[in-house]
Amino acid sequence: MRGEATVLHADLDAFYASVEQRDAPELRGRPVIVGGGVVLAASYEAKARGVRTAMGGRQAREVCPDAVVVRPRMEAYAAASKAVFAIFRDTAPLVEGLSIDEAFLEVGGLRRIVGTPEQVAVGLRQRVRTEVGLAISVGVARTKFLAKVASAVSKPDGLLVVEPDAEQAFLLPLPVERLWGVGAVTAEKLHRVGIRTVGQLAELEESAAENLLGRAAGAHLHALARLRDPRPVNTARRRGSIGSQRALGQRPRSAAELDVILSQIVDRLGRRLRDGDRVCRTVVLRLRFGDYAKATRSRTLRSATARTAVLLTLARGLLDAAAPEIATRGITLIGVSLSQLAPDDSVPPELPLDEDDGVRLDTVLDAVRDRFGAAAVGRAAQLGRDPGWSTPVLPEYE
């Protein structure tokens, strides 16, 4: 039915922390922080005490001294995500994953088979709770944007349906921070001119929003404020890049420590490339300095590759070039993304004389990790270090 609220946005609640509470009953009902140096995730009990994602570990323990701090277990989170996405795909024919813990589902064609979109959402939440042991919040609306806002408003462990005739009453009173793409900087620009609600932004002319926020951002946010979001649930879109990052906190890091962290990131990304039968041409190094300014450095290869050794060589070169700036300004975050992705069968096969031991080594290491887990084998320089440090970078929304 045209104009019906048939888009679901399903978002697992406090995902990493919820997995920890699921697997350790003694943690249920207690404030839980995942990650020691930097908070990767916090349970709702910890959030109620003021703990926030990306907060420094020391600050988090100050605001919540009785919190239980646990080391991240990325394999457990990946397994839980896989189980939940299997339920998504069993629920609806059209599923668009956004990240490890959220997705859009288009359920407009299921009314005669399963029931109304709300009934589909109820069944989805029950299955995730029963089969995976996790709480999930779901928003149902006519557009992806409104469904995402609805799921956020319904948290924790909620379900909210925004019918087409109630869209303005739901959206316009909300703070502008609820708009997809409004961060602290954009919110401050809007607050400075007295715009604090979505409705106030919607009252502006589009040209005024563009002058205030820039042409692209202003037009995009103004359209959302006026309930314009024509994007369908897209199951065919593949990411144009993949990446991982690590927040480092404020303490100084030696060149050796940064190299270890960089190798962990690249090892993980190389495996993800090969698991997806993909190759890349561009390596991007992302840095956040001690003053919180950000910088990116990139190198592009002539031919695409998925070899870990090649990717690591490029990434190390970029990091070495940034070393003087890191030495004077400090560093609080390091990340790597791989872009210009393509299917691996799009690359001409190499001659046998060009094939070195690196290819065979990657294949063997991937097989060992597939069978025995990601921490089963690693670099000697990584011995004794936490293997579960990584925070996945969310895919950019198109």
Report pLDDT digits (tens) over 295-330. Answer: 889 998 888 888 999 999 999 999 999 999 999 999
Q: Which CATH superfamily is domain 1-163 in?
A: Reverse transcriptase/Diguanylate cyclase domain (3.30.70.270)
| pLDDT for the residue 381 | 55
Report which of 249, 288, 11 is spatially closest to residue 137, judged by C-alpha positions: 11
385: left (phi over 0), alpha (psi -120 to 50) or beta: beta
Fold of 172-225: DNA polymerase; domain 1 (1.10.150)
**Higher-confidence position of 393 and 240:** 240
**Higher-confidence position of 17 and 274:** 17
| pLDDT for the residue 104 | 95
Of the chain, the percentage scoring pLDDT greater than 90 comes to 55
Residue type, 154: S
pLDDT value at 383 more than 70: no
Across the range 372-376, mean pLDDT stands at 55
Report the alpha-carbon distance of residue 199 to residue 185 in Å, rounded.
19
pLDDT value at 180 more than 80: no
Q: What is the three-state SS of 186-240?
A: HHHHHHHCCCCEHHHHHHCCHHHHHHHHCHHHHHHHHHHHCCCCCCCCCCCCCCC
**Higher-confidence position of 108 and 374:** 108
For residue range 199-230, list pLDDT tens digits in order: 999 999 999 988 988 888 888 899 999 988 87
Report the alpha-carbon distance of residue 328 to residue 367 in Å, rounded.
42
pLDDT value at 388 more than 60: no
Domain limits, the chain? 1-163, 172-225, 241-392
| From 31-45, 49-63, 335-349, the region with the lowest mean pLDDT | 335-349
Domain 241-392 sits in CATH at 3.30.1490.100
Contact 10, 136 (CB under 8 A): yes
Interacting residues of 259 by C-beta distance below 8 A, sequence separation 6+: 316, 319, 381
pLDDT value at 57 more than 90: no
For residue range 241-263, list pLDDT tens digits in order: 788 888 887 788 999 999 999 99
DSSP string, 339-384: ES-EEGGGSPPPPGGG--HHHHHHHHHHHHHHHH-TTSS--GGGTT
**Higher-confidence position of 149 and 300:** 149
- Please, which pLDDT band fits residue 394 given cuts at 50, 70 and 90? very low
Sheet holding 7-12, edge to edge: 94-99, 102-106, 7-12, 136-141, 159-161
Catalytic residues: 102
Sheet holding 32-34, edge to edge: 41-42, 32-34, 68-70
Across the range 365-381, mean pLDDT stands at 56
| pLDDT for the residue 346 | 61
Give me the chain's average pLDDT, please. Answer: 85
Q: In this structure, what are the phi and psi dihedrals at residue 307, rounded to the nearest 5 degrees?
A: -75, 125
pLDDT value at 156 more than 90: yes
Report which of 96, 73, 92 is spatially closest to residue 11, judged by C-alpha positions: 96
| pLDDT for the residue 161 | 97
Contact 134, 128 (CB under 8 A): yes
Cis peptide bond N-terminal to 156, omega within 30: yes
Across the range 32-53, mean pLDDT stands at 91
